[in-house]
Amino acid sequence: MVDTDCKRKLVSPDLPTKLHVTIPSPFKLPVSSPISCSAPSSCSAYELYLRLPELRNLWSSRDFPRWSHEPILKPSLQGLEITFRLVLAVCSDNRPYINHREWNRRLDSILTCQIKLISSISEEDEAAPVGNERSTLSLLPQLATWRKSEAFGKKILSTIDKEMRFSKYTLGLGEQNISGKPNLQYDAVCRPNELYSLRNNPYADHIDNNENETLYILHQIIESWLHVSSNLLKRINTSIDKGRFGEASRDVYLVESIWKLLIEVEDLHLLMDPEDFLKLKKQLHIKTAGKNDAFCFRSRGLVEVMKMSKGLREKVPFVLGVEVDPTGGPRLQEAAMRLYARKGEECDKIHLLQGMQGVEAAAKRFFFAYKQVVAAVMGSAEMNTECDSVRQIFMEPTYFPSLDAAKTFLGEFWSHVG
């Protein structure tokens, strides 16, 4: 039971009776945390397949040391450029049984989501390397002129024009740029030629299966955006430690959006031909090593970002300006209720806390959606074999129990008013 006598006064002095709200105890799971990487050999095989060591070098290169947005915007642009390669692969796929219409719709949505994220990242960016020249190395201008992809490419150029309107520069990929803004030095930042040199995976020369290229590109996109998310989470922690809650709030909503983007990209597995994909699974010798060895945990980047997303809860006491009560009392809950009631000049803190809970919800939805994708693509037997640990993630109790309790009380309070 939670004593709400003092908390009632914080919200409304006119409540005629004292409230007692029961806060449910956390649901207990058989393991402390299901988030852990697969065996090192499995993770290494996954990374070598995707050529992640070479990709990491491109993501992490600092060509413009004084440009603070480079560690975040560079891998974002590279994820976008890799998606252009997926468009090229889909448009070049001559298999008569492929659902090109649905592929185009999904890719349009995913590219639009990425461009929106890039636009949001660049809105406050005043130090980006810009100029008057357009990109000559990106695949997008080629897509906009090739007969099979012309309509699609022009649609993406129009999306760039629309979404980059709040930025001080545009991407310089052939968009109209009616406002005459400077172009980002896209080729120097993104380095499309080096990305394109990684277009073939180690099995491309001896596996005759179109889905090999598709699978390879999908996971390179996922890993690129995981790298972006990891850098954003590091910046969020730094901003919070320095009391810059508005900046942390903007970034935390970007992390939430990236989790939602990853769900969309994972869903593309549902469009792969069932027989071709299962044949590829055999050709690549992909198999689970144990009951809790979900394939997604071979991605060290995914495990790191999930742990960092969960770790945002450790910043809640600092944001609320109180220490955790060692006796387990409702100190954090009371501080959250005061913050929600006061609003005023501390709205940035409310936005940040709301964003943290949004990240939790989006991350858990990713793993729930992953479980469904595994069942749909490989059959429910495979899902039952490898997804126990995944199931535990979205069944975990809330990462923010104090915020949850504060909202439970406020909900009960307002249900009794009037």
d(CA 380, CA 138): 40
d(CA 349, CA 395): 27
Instruction: Copy the structure tokens of residue 111.
Output: 């590219």
Contact assessment for residue 35 and residue 303, using Cβ atoms and an 8 Å cutoff: yes
User: What pLDDT shows up at residue 185?
Assistant: 97
Q: Which amino acid is at 274?
A: P
Q: Which amino acid is at 197?
A: S
Contact assessment for residue 339 and residue 346, using Cβ atoms and an 8 Å cutoff: yes
CB neighbours (10 Å) of residue 193? 11
Query: Taking 80 as the threshold, does the pLDDT of residue 11 lie above it?
Result: no
Query: Taking 50 as the threshold, does the pLDDT of residue 373 lie above it?
Result: yes
The end-to-end CA distance of the chain, in Å, is 23
User: What pLDDT shows up at residue 345?
Assistant: 81
Q: Which of 361, 321, 315, 360 is nearest to 339 (CA)?
A: 321
**Segment 347-356, tens digit of pLDDT:** 999 999 999 9
Average pLDDT, integer, range 255-284: 96
pLDDT > 70: what percent of the chain?
89
User: What pLDDT shows up at residue 391?
Assistant: 82
User: What pLDDT shows up at residue 259?
Assistant: 98
User: What pLDDT shows up at residue 290?
Assistant: 61
Q: Give Cα 295 distance to the centre of its chain.
A: 18
**Segment 27-37, tens digit of pLDDT:** 333 334 668 89
Alpha helices by DSSP H, listed for 93-200, are 100-122, 140-143, 150-163, 186-190, 192-196
**Average pLDDT of the chain to the nearest whole number:** 89
User: What pLDDT shows up at residue 388?
Assistant: 75
Residue with tokens 């949004």: 358
Average pLDDT, integer, range 183-196: 97
User: What pLDDT shows up at residue 28?
Assistant: 38
pLDDT > 90: what percent of the chain?
75
Question: Binning pLDDT at 50, 70 and 90, where does residue 344 land?
Answer: confident
Query: Taking 50 as the threshold, does the pLDDT of residue 17 lie above it?
Result: no
CA–CA distance from 342 to each of 130, 245, 310, 378 (Å)? 43, 16, 27, 51
Contacts of 4 (CB under 8 A, 6+ apart): 18, 19, 20, 21, 409, 413
User: What pLDDT shows up at residue 410?
Assistant: 87
Question: Binning pLDDT at 50, 70 and 90, where does residue 157 land?
Answer: very high
User: What pLDDT shows up at residue 115?
Assistant: 98
Question: Binning pLDDT at 50, 70 and 90, where does residue 1 land?
Answer: very low
Contacts of 15 (CB under 8 A, 6+ apart): 8, 413, 416, 417
Question: Binning pLDDT at 50, 70 and 90, where does residue 390 land?
Answer: confident
d(CA 145, CA 202): 30
User: What pLDDT shows up at residue 304?
Assistant: 97
Contact assessment for residue 119 and residue 163, using Cβ atoms and an 8 Å cutoff: yes
**Segment 311-341, tens digit of pLDDT:** 999 999 999 999 988 887 889 999 999 999 8
User: What pLDDT shows up at residue 30?
Assistant: 39
User: What pLDDT shows up at residue 295?
Assistant: 87
Question: Binning pLDDT at 50, 70 and 90, where does residue 380 land?
Answer: confident
d(CA 376, CA 270): 7
Judged by average pLDDT, the poorest of 3-7, 229-233, 384-388 is 3-7
User: What pLDDT shows up at residue 23?
Assistant: 45
The domains located in the chain, with CATH, are: 1-51+222-418 (1.20.58), 68-200 (no CATH)
**Segment 87-129, tens digit of pLDDT:** 999 999 999 999 999 999 999 999 999 999 999 999 989 999 9
**Segment 281-314, tens digit of pLDDT:** 999 988 766 656 788 999 999 999 999 999 999 9
Query: Taking 70 as the threshold, does the pLDDT of residue 9 lie above it?
Result: no
**240 has which bridge partners?**
none
Q: Give Cα 161 distance to the centre of its chain.
A: 23
d(CA 87, CA 153): 9
User: What pLDDT shows up at residue 401?
Assistant: 93
Query: Taking 50 as the threshold, does the pLDDT of residue 7 lie above it?
Result: no
**Computed from CA positions of residues 220, 221, 225, 228, in that sequence, does the dihedral angle turn out positive or negative?**
positive
